[in-house]
Structures are given as C-alpha cells and as structure tokens.
Structure 1
Amino acid sequence: MMKVYHTTRAAFQTAPISLSKWKTVIAAHENALADLRGFEFEFLNPAQRAFAAVRAKWPGESQLKEGSLAQIQMHKALAALEPVRKRHEDLIDAVNRAVDEMLETPAPSMAAMALKLRTVVQSDCKGHHSADDVLRILQGDAQRLSGGEGL
C-alpha cells in the first residue's frame, strides 16, 4: 500500500530563489566554457598537433637515446606542450567550479533545472560532485519546484 504524506508547498521551500543570482551563475559558467573552448582551439589543438608531428618523425622510438636528435626534438616538443596542458587543466577546473556553483544554486524554474540536467549529462566538465550528489541536488530542485507533490 502506498503511503500518502500531507505536506504544504512551504515545507519544501528553503529560501527565496534569486533570478539575478541564477543569471550570474549561468553567465560565469558560459564564460568559463567559452574560455576553455577558445583555449583549446587557439592553443591546445595546435600544440598537440605539433607534438604529434614531432613524434611521427620517430616511429618506434619508445626508448630515445640520450643526446640523439630524436631525444632532443621530443624533449623540446614535450617542453612546449606541458605548460599548455597545465593551463588546459586549470581551465577545466574553472569550468568544473562553475558547474558546481550552478548545481548548488537553487533552480528558479523547471527550465533552469533542465539546464542543470543537460549540463551534467552532455558536458565533459561535470563538476566535482558525485553522481549521487547531483541526483540529490536535482531531486531537491524538483521537490521545491513541484511543491513536493509526487516526490
């Protein structure tokens, strides 16, 4: 037999939802994502292609001899790629922090909740929350937005 809980809409509301706060959070996420994609296009992809081109010159050279031309060129190519990779990791972390803030900000509408869901499902950057935490956050938004009915 199914239990029926009698609650009021107020029981699921925590604090007033600030639309301006939501818009600020979304703008921060969009900016972080644009910075990441721009960096990938302008710096990461060319650096990876340059490294791959040097690596392709020396197929089968898994153990490069010290002082050999192959070793020198690979060392230079890797030295050029490493700071680019580091910056890329920093930008990914910035996007993840923006996703975290988006998830932690109460969704002011069902459309906002759908945006949260789409972000964690479709994006490579999913924030630092576990999948269970994300589901709990989305469940909280759904309960609050529906007045708790059916949840």
Structure 2
Amino acid sequence: MAADRFLVQSALTACAELLRRRGRIEDLRELGTGKHAHATLRPYARALEDRGRTGEAEAVLREFLGSDEYPAPFRWPLTELLARQGRLDDAVEMGRPTFDHHDTCLLDGLIGLLHEAHRRRDAAVQAACGPGEPPSRRRAEPGTAARM
C-alpha cells in the first residue's frame, strides 16, 4: 500500500516538473494548489520563481505552510527560496522550528546552505548548537564554536 502511495506521489511530481519545464504555469497552478499539493506545490513555486514572481512563490508556500494539513513538507522549499534570494537569516529562522524533529529536521540542509554562501562561521555555530535555543540566546561556553 505504501509503495503505491509513493508511486503516485512520484508520478505527480514528475508531471509537475514536466509542466514547469514546458512553461504551463496555469496547469501547474491547478495541480500545485489542489488536493495533491504535497507532491506538486514545490515545482509550482519554483516555476513562479523562474518567471521572476518570487513574492508570489513565497506567498503560496507560506499559505500552505500555515495549514494544518501540510506544515512540514513546505518548510524546506520555502527555506531554499529564501536562501536563493540571499535571505539566509530568514531561511535559518524558517528551519529552526524543525531542529528538534527527528523526521523533518532541516538543520543539516541549513548548515549546507550557510556553507555554500561562505558563511562558514554561522554554519559552525548552528552545527555546534544544534537543536534548541538559537545560538544568539545561548551562553558561550569555553571550547564551543560560539567563540569562533
């Protein structure tokens, strides 16, 4: 049963990516914001971003993130979008609520984004602090990355 669910999800995602590549934004909007948004909203948001409509892409992702049905799956696409816009601090704050979640933790991905943006000190601080309070609220202890 689970295999069937993942097969359908993969097919929907592939269809959405194809619509994105073909520039069929309205068809993609219907698919990306409908009952299969869990699998197709990310390509829709990326298509909007590709067309310079980043504000709209962010709004769509935030709308679904605010729903009870889809909160976790849309945190990473929104985090990536914010990072591509150079809004790394906002991206970290978007991922922070997941740092204590074992199945949807974005800490590793955020450390990678910070590292790629040449913010290695920030990446090291996030890695040293890990889940819990933001590094700015933690008391620096001798020998920790917060002293770097």
TM beyond 0.5: no
Q: Which has the higher contact order (CA 8 A, sep 6+)?
A: 1
Max Rg structure: 1
Query: TM-score, normalised on structure 1?
Result: 0.29
Query: TM-score, normalised on structure 2?
Result: 0.29
